[in-house]
Structure 1
Amino acid sequence: MTQASFVKRRYLALWFPWLPAERLARTPRAGRKGSPERPLVLAEAVKGALRLAAVDRHAEALGLLPGLPLADARARVTGLIVADHDAAADQRLLERLADLCIRYTPIVAPEPPDTLILDIAGAAHLFGGEGGLSRDVRVRLGRHGFTVRTAIEDTPDAAWARARFDAACVAALPVAALRLGGERETALHRAGLYTVGDIASRPLSGLAARFGAAAATAVRRMVGDAESPIAPRRVLPPVEVERRFPEPVARTDYVLGVLADLLAEACRMLDARGEGGRRFEAEFFRADGKVQGVCVETGAPVRHAAPVVELFTHSLARLEDPLDPGFGFDAVCLSVPVTQPLAPGQPDLDRAPPPGPALDALIDRLAARLGPDRLLRFHARESHVPERAARLRPGSPSCSWPVPPLSEPPLRPFSLLRPPRLLSNVVADVPDAPPRRFRLGVTFLTIVRAEGPERIAAEWWRRPGLTRDYYRVEDETGRRLWIFRHGLYGHEETNPRWYLHGLFA
């Protein structure tokens, strides 16, 4: 068994019982905030009728629950504030809250519509234990106007259930915590099973035979006998380091110095892994809950801190919303989500830097200063058709270009003519011989050497086209050209045309 297999997983569930109502309470529009005198409900159309989709705490105290027809709610309570339910806005808010909770652990999974699951294994000691972490979450989110109920358990399902239901332990949870649906819950009650403990104390084979395999699986996931994976909002990066401050820091220069120290630490970790970073992401957590992020990318894997610090400096200077400490930063996190293998390099005897890394560093600096979308590079594309074999895209190249051996001439010219120039008065032996003589503009050229053909057929998924036969030719003055015949003699064309597509240097 590996060392990681001994780590006991612990999960913290955050349940926001009145998330939609508290979202509206944060909006500046008047008349949206509920009060004990005028509670707030959110309604949506269900099968042609308006029903309550969410309520605030005051409406719930008056007995108004989701699912109740709006007409019945108005009849029970006068002076209701009614708003439209917006599930998409609630989802966006839940995702923002998940980003806020990344300060506690990188593994945060939203459970729509109103719950977050945090994997806190190995993170609770940073906040004085599990109790201290739970208190810190409640206090921090409470300052933002959100009511949150927390629970910590060994499985995500148990944490989710205990955050919702007032139970001392997993065994005391009601069968509704298994999320089996109303019909199965009623059937379990009729069978005398009211809690998870009642079900877990009986053979699960009988439960599966009577209530379906889903019921037995739900119990096993609740008690930890079956896998219960979560889907975190972001994938755990290969390398991640952070620095937390005992008190909020309001000096931006000090925080940037901490970022440089984190980069040096991350580069040491990359060196131990034999890798280099291609993408570096820095997140600055403010005491008021705002999270500011900055990302830089490199054209080649690097594991030296100095050039990455320079890239972050240029990127921060280009931000439309400058890095503002507000009431102070209380944490800085640096992650390297994209890495690649990087073998140690050896400089030449004259210690001259190779041209490739110098060019990549220049492009990285330009992209950081001007913005990655304003700098275009040619990217190789999987196509045999020459004019489609490359395209301009922002950022660094996605794959390496094929490089011929130094002893061999290039197979294709570096630049192509767009569109190819038509050749006239072509003299060539049929069916597959290269031309011996042709006219380019007003000049007649005589070919003394030729190599080919390189046959390129039209791509079958596009509109049908003619086959091309490419030749590398040299005329009597030493000029080297790249020409092609458009069409095959006797098969596709009776008199194919010839074109000049490129010039060799």
Structure 2
Amino acid sequence: MPPTGTITVPRRFLALWFPFLPANRLRIAGGLNAGPDAPFAFVEKQKGAVRLAAINPLAGDEGLAAGMTLADARAMVPELQIYNSDPAADEDFLDRLADGCTRYTPNVAVYPPDIIIMDIGGSAHLSGGERKLSRSVKEYLGRRQITVRIGLASTTDAARALAEFSSGHHNSEMCAIEALPVAALRLDAEGDLGLRRAGLQTIGEVASRPRSAIAARFGTRAVFALEKLIGAAESPLNPRRHEIPWVFERRFPEPIASKVYALKVLHGLLEEAKIRLIEEDRGGRHFEASFHRVDGRVQYVQVETGLPSRDTKAITRLFDERLDTLADPLDPGFGFDSVGLRILRTDPLKPHQSQLEKEAREEDNSAEFLDRLAVRLGRNRLLTFRSRDTHIPEKSQVASAAIHDTTQHNWTAATQAEPPVRPLQLFDPPHPITVIAEIPDGPPKRFRWHGKSRDVTRFEGPERIASEWWLGGDDPLGAGQWTRDYFRIEDTSGRRYWVFRYGLYGRETSDPQWYLHGLFA
């Protein structure tokens, strides 16, 4: 066949597996109630039982694994911290990680809950080869303290399997694939068990058998999975649908050695991007500037905004402040030969007359202030509170990174005619107090706190709050999951307190304990 003049680029795929993605997501969002050295897990209800959906590395070190019942996990690790599983938040976090991976290739596919696969066949040479690109990806994620394992292969299925199951170095890709366990075929539990009962432990052992024998005993699905894994069948990549690429670049006929001029060029690119954003009624949320030196080194600088923006002055100011905080300052070396700008995330942004709309102007000013704080302090150190779907007072709000939280949180406020239902100051954990009541399950008549007795003149209640029994023994007060009866009380000096009796008398305990949970005034 005569040559056609077309160069065929070999397909190469880099798979990223995030074994602790929910834990990494929660830590980055600032939502951990315990310290970073505590084992914790995420739970969800499966087939009538509360089971572990995901764990952090420390929980794994204790022998815990996803799929275990919460009761079994508690028996092994009594101090285990529990969080509700949030698949939607995990998928959004995986999408944001995929956004960052587009710096290496535009062909990025997301496979929830924890896999990203990149087609690097036509882009690896831009990073100095496959090994350097792989190392760069691991360093990029490592700086964010994200646990990742990678697999590199000629098919998507093989790359994914190597990322998840490979446990050592091999002389060739095929040797590495043949050494994988049969779980890499991703069959159902019955098929996986059948292979192992037949004495087939590795992919190599399965591949050595006639395909007809495998199909007859384990079905055509096992044959098809094997063929895709070893590259005998097509294993296409399904990359994410990209919006119109927001990429801008300015090349120089001669290298420039002035950092100030390079920043002016960046401002010009932002002005160019603003025109397109206005045409599309969109605003940027995540901007990345790239400074390309003549020696091949590229320095990337990223900034994010809490709200969509196309205010070039504000975004330029964020870049200036980001550059001032870099541990590795922007160094032109022998000069820059180009400056680039990518907008990694955009959201709809309708124009408004900020001069006439006072509330909109105040919102813009607040958002800009938060963006600048996030640049200086770090986006994960700037937190906001959002409500959580729970009746337990100390769990009713959770801290999250303000830069990513654009939801309007409307907290219910008491009317002027009614006293507040919840105290302004909440003690976490609650303070134990000694209470005298007429009957064990009655309201308090007198209580002792900080060594001083106080007589109760008025009370409201009880307000009964049941425990979250389905989450297991996660009550910081210990002793089990008991009911709380809350009272709003007032002493002789007019001070108001929020106290509760822990445990139903006669049903949960014979000696209920009392706690002070907050102060109204």
TM-score, length basis structure 2: 0.51
Uncovered stretches (5+) of structure 2, i.e. residues with no partner: 171-175, 274-278, 290-298, 332-338, 354-521
Residue in 2 aligned with 1:170? 177
Distance 1:111 1:39 in 2: 27
Distance 2:282 2:342 in 1: 7
1:5-404 equivalence runs, <5 A: 6-29=8-31, 31-35=33-37, 38-167=38-167, 168=170, 169-235=176-242, 252-256=263-267, 284-285=287-288, 290=302, 315-317=310-312, 324=319, 326-327=322-323, 332=340
- After superposition, the Cα gap between the structure-2 partners of 1:373 and 1:284, relative to the gap in structure 1 and judged at 3 Å, is closer
**Structure 1 residue 84 displacement after superposition:** 0.9
SS in 1 for 2:102: helix
Conserved? CA contact 1:100–1:291, under 8 Å: no
- After superposition, the Cα gap between the structure-2 partners of 1:7 and 1:70, relative to the gap in structure 1 and judged at 3 Å, is same
**Structure 1 residue 219 displacement after superposition:** 1.0
What whole-Å deviation, never above 9, does each CA across 1:84-131 have from its counterpart, x for those lacking one? Answer: 111111000000000011001001111110110000012112222111
SS in 2 for 1:146: coil
Distance 2:180 2:245 in 1: 38
**Structure 1 residue 254 displacement after superposition:** 2.7
Q: Which has the larger radius of gyration?
A: 1
Structure number with higher relative contact order (C-alpha < 8 Å, ≥ 6 residues apart): 2
Conserved? CA contact 2:283–2:310, under 8 Å: no
**Partner letter of residue 80 of structure 1?**
L
What whole-Å deviation, never above 9, does each CA across 1:332-391 have from its counterpart, x for those lacking one? Answer: 3569xxxxxxxxxxxxxxxxxxxxxxxxxxxxxxxxxx976679xxxxxxxxxxxxxxxx
**Structure 1 residue 159 displacement after superposition:** 0.6
- After superposition, the Cα gap between the structure-2 partners of 1:373 and 1:44, relative to the gap in structure 1 and judged at 3 Å, is same
**Structure 1 residue 240 displacement after superposition:** 7.1
- After superposition, the Cα gap between the structure-2 partners of 1:181 and 1:4, relative to the gap in structure 1 and judged at 3 Å, is farther
14-23 or 90-99, which moves further after superposition? 14-23
**Partner letter of residue 332 of structure 1?**
G
- After superposition, the Cα gap between the structure-2 partners of 1:2 and 1:222, relative to the gap in structure 1 and judged at 3 Å, is farther
Distance 1:24 1:96 in 2: 14
Conserved? CA contact 1:178–1:219, under 8 Å: yes
TM-score, length basis structure 1: 0.53
**Structure 1 residue 228 displacement after superposition:** 1.2
User: Aligned pairs, how many?
Assistant: 307
**Structure 1 residue 52 displacement after superposition:** 0.5
Conserved? CA contact 2:281–2:349, under 8 Å: no
SS in 1 for 2:233: coil
RMSD between superposed Cα atoms in Å: 4.2
1:331-480 equivalence runs, <5 A: 332=340
Residue in 1 aligned with 2:471? none
**Structure 1 residue 28 displacement after superposition:** 2.6
- After superposition, the Cα gap between the structure-2 partners of 1:229 and 1:279, relative to the gap in structure 1 and judged at 3 Å, is farther
Distance 2:63 2:51 in 1: 14
**Partner letter of residue 41 of structure 1?**
A
SS in 2 for 1:231: coil
SS in 2 for 1:202: coil
Uncovered stretches (5+) of structure 1, i.e. residues with no partner: 263-276, 294-313, 336-369, 376-505
Percent pairwise identity: 42
